[in-house]
Amino acid sequence: MTQPLNGMCVVEIGDSIAGSACTKTFSDYGARVIKVEPFSGNKIRRMPPFKGDIPDINGGAYHLAFDTGKESIIVDYSSNSGLEVLDRLYQLSDLVIFDTTVEKTKKLRSMINGVKYPSTVSITPHGMSGPFQDRRENDMSILAWTTRMYRNSMENMSPLRNAPGSTLVQIGHTAAAVAVGIYWGHQHDQIRRDAEVAGVEAILGNVDTGFVSWIFTGNLPERIGGQLKTRYPTGIYPCKDGYVILSANEEPWFSRLCHAIGHPEILEDERFTKDRENNWHAFMEYLGPYLDQHDKNYIFTHLQEHGVMVAPVLNASDLLDDPQAKARKSFVKIDSAIGEHFLAGAPFHLNKMNDKSFKLESAPKLGEHTNTLLKELDYSKEEIIALFRAKIIG
């Protein structure tokens, strides 16, 4: 059985994690993805960690994980000869993803006009217009614009980011959605579309920000860190061998929790029925001992049997051994530039868990496919060497 996106060709002209994250899903479900890289390689190749802490342009963790199954071509598109190569690539493709400066994107996108050209998606930090369009941002500074850093922190302490890279991944991931949307549209109404994903807008317009709540209520988010001591239990709680995270402050989960830990009397106790927000300490006299006595995986299975939303806090070493991950084969062993290593598997399964619609293939070496692609684009051997010598391709 062929993969669902077989036959589709996506060109990625990117330089950050966002562009790679955007096209990864296309690639893993069968689309042909061509990464157009500068001579120094896409910046994603320089993102640590590296095996043994030894930098390797073909061995960075992000590159290995996000460029799976793609082709890599080095083109310097700052010159006309490079643009001519791009023009042929455009015509070969069904979708072009830009993830570079606004100035470059505008120039490169302006060549795409007319029926023989594909739809495009342009990823930038602040969008392609407006006073901030040329600002340079990174994973953390974009998150700062979205209210999420402010929210994820404690009063009068520095705002906090999420995991490094995760903001750019979210932006790329958002771009993937609109990309597949306009690709669908193009196939059905033959209208070529140019979509624009501004990183700040993509995250601010999504959930888990404090903006809409503030608009609705006028209340700023409570910056009190993890455990909410007025509406509890929610947040991170220590247990015998680590931590669990609980979301049981609302009904019916609160009642279920009280039953599960053997203290249904809490539900009749006036301290909690009438004045819950001031009695966190009293509540912890019930919950605390239960948590202290049990380890995170026990708490997880035991409370979940009672329908309580709880999860263990896992770290890197726990992941591969997680029973669910094992059962679902959520991690896949792959052989690539650094030898065998593990990558996360399918984000979703079509039809069956073991179907072949998702396939991980190793990430390309820098410029690995330049030659074959140029041949495919009808360049002769002499022309290819001439372009190489002029530092147009590599």
Provide, rounded to whole angstroms, the least separation between the CB of residue 194 and other proteins: 5
- 115 scored as a contact of other proteins (CB under 8 A): no
- 213 scored as a contact of other proteins (CB under 8 A): yes
CA dist., res. 82 & res. 348, Å (int): 37
Nearer to other proteins, 92 or 160 (CB): 160
What are the backbone angles phi and psi of residue 304, rounded to the nearest 5°?
A: -65, -30
- 337 scored as a contact of other proteins (CB under 8 A): no
> Quick one: which of 319, 335, 356, 376 contacts other proteins (CB under 8 A)?
319
> Quick one: which of 285, 347, 356, 376 contacts other proteins (CB under 8 A)?
347
Give bridge partners of residue 310 from the DSSP assignment.
246
Segment interacting with other proteins (CB under 8 A) among 82-90, 272-280, 287-295, 314-322: 314-322
Scan residues 128-167 and list those touching other proteins (CB under 8 A). Answer: 129-133, 135-138, 140-142, 144-166
Provide, rounded to whole angstroms, the least separation between the CB of residue 84 and other proteins: 18
The answer to whether 44 and 22 are in contact (CB under 8 A) is no
Nearer to other proteins, 9 or 265 (CB): 9
Provide, rounded to whole angstroms, the least separation between the CB of residue 204 and other proteins: 6
CA dist., res. 238 & res. 230, Å (int): 18
3-state class of 172 per DSSP? helix
How many residues bind to other proteins according to rule CB under 8 A? 173
Picking from 45, 51, 44, 35, the residue whose alpha carbon sits closest to that of residue 16 is 44
> Quick one: which of 92, 282, 284, 313 contacts other proteins (CB under 8 A)?
313
Give bridge partners of residue 122 from the DSSP assignment.
98, 196
CA dist., res. 211 & res. 371, Å (int): 49
Site string for other proteins, 183-212 (x = CB under 8 A): xxxxxxx-x-xxxxxx-xxxxxxxxxxxxx
- 257 scored as a contact of other proteins (CB under 8 A): no
Scan residues 220-249 and list those touching other proteins (CB under 8 A). Answer: 220-221, 225-227, 231, 234-238, 243-245, 247
Nearer to other proteins, 141 or 255 (CB): 141
- 124 scored as a contact of other proteins (CB under 8 A): no
Provide, rounded to whole angstroms, the least separation between the CB of residue 336 and other proteins: 11
Q: Name the CA radius of gyration of the chain, rounded.
A: 25
* DSSP at 321: T
Neighbour count for residue 86 (Cβ, 10 Å): 19
Scan residues 69-108 and list those touching other proteins (CB under 8 A). Answer: none
Nearer to other proteins, 43 or 279 (CB): 43
User: Terminal CA-to-CA distance of the chain, rounded, Å?
Assistant: 35
Provide, rounded to whole angstroms, the least separation between the CB of residue 44 and other proteins: 10
The answer to whether 133 and 190 are in contact (CB under 8 A) is no
Nearer to other proteins, 264 or 385 (CB): 385
Nearer to other proteins, 118 or 345 (CB): 345
- 8 scored as a contact of other proteins (CB under 8 A): yes
User: Could you please report the per-residue DSSP string of 220-262?
Assistant: PPP-B-S--SSS-SEEEEEETTEEEEEE-SSTTHHHHHHHHTT
CA dist., res. 290 & res. 19, Å (int): 46
Instruction: Give the H or E element holding residue 64.
Output: helix 61-66
Provide, rounded to whole angstroms, the least separation between the CB of residue 285 and other proteins: 17
Integer angstrom CA distances of residue 170 from 30, 151, 180, 315? 21, 18, 16, 21
Segment interacting with other proteins (CB under 8 A) among 37-45, 83-91, 269-277, 285-293: 37-45
Nearer to other proteins, 265 or 375 (CB): 375
- 304 scored as a contact of other proteins (CB under 8 A): yes
Identity of the amino acid at 385: I
User: Which residue shows structure tokens 């993803």?
Assistant: 97
> Quick one: which of 264, 275, 335, 344 contacts other proteins (CB under 8 A)?
344
